[in-house]
């Protein structure tokens, strides 16, 4: 199976892991996990907990984009095996992004986000060049 599909599978778990991290921060800040009103509790988070929630939202959004990029690459007939390097770079960017988000390194986070989106644009460019 092409590496890009393994990357797609791997990053599909990232928002879930960030949700679990969010639970930790909710318990830490509020002393409990409110499963009856989870969105309200998430919205009240501050500091690192709020940034975890932001990173989770961004992970969902980026997952949607990368999923469509994979579909475009496949549908165009692009040899998915030639995308190993760019797929692994995207994976590295997506793993590093929430770390930078949570640690409040905004400029580095934005740069890493741009790297990930650049990978997506490059794959679409290759697919369009078929």
Contact 58, 93 (CB under 8 A): no
Q: What is the pLDDT of residues 2-27, one digit of tens each?
A: 999 999 999 999 999 999 999 999 99
List the domain boundaries for the chain: 3-128
Which tens digits make up the pLDDT trace of 94-108? Answer: 999 999 999 999 999
Class of domain 3-128: mainly alpha
- For 55, counting Cβ atoms within 10 Å of its Cβ (0-12 exposed, 13-18 middle, 19+ buried), the class is buried
How far, in Å, are 6, 97, 101 from residue 18 at the CA level?
19, 12, 11
Interacting residues of 120 by C-beta distance below 8 A, sequence separation 6+ = 65, 66, 69, 90
pTM over the 0.75 mark: yes
């Amino acid at each position: 199976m092409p590496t890009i599909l393994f990357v797609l599978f791997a990053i599909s778990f990232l928002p879930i892991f960030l949700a679990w991290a969010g639970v930790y921060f909710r318990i830490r800040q509020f002393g409990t996990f409110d499963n009856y009103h989870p969105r309200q509790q998430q919205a009240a988070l501050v500091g690192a907990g709020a940034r975890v929630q932001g990173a989770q939202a961004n992970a969902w959004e980026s997952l949607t984009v990368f999923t469509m990029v994979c579909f475009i690459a496949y549908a165009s007939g692009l040899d998915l095996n030639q995308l190993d390097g760019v797929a692994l770079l995207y994976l590295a960017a997506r793993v590093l992004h929430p770390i930078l988000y949570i640690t409040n390194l905004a400029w580095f986070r934005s740069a890493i986000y741009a790297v990930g989106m650049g990978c997506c644009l490059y794959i679409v460019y290759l697919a369009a060049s078929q």
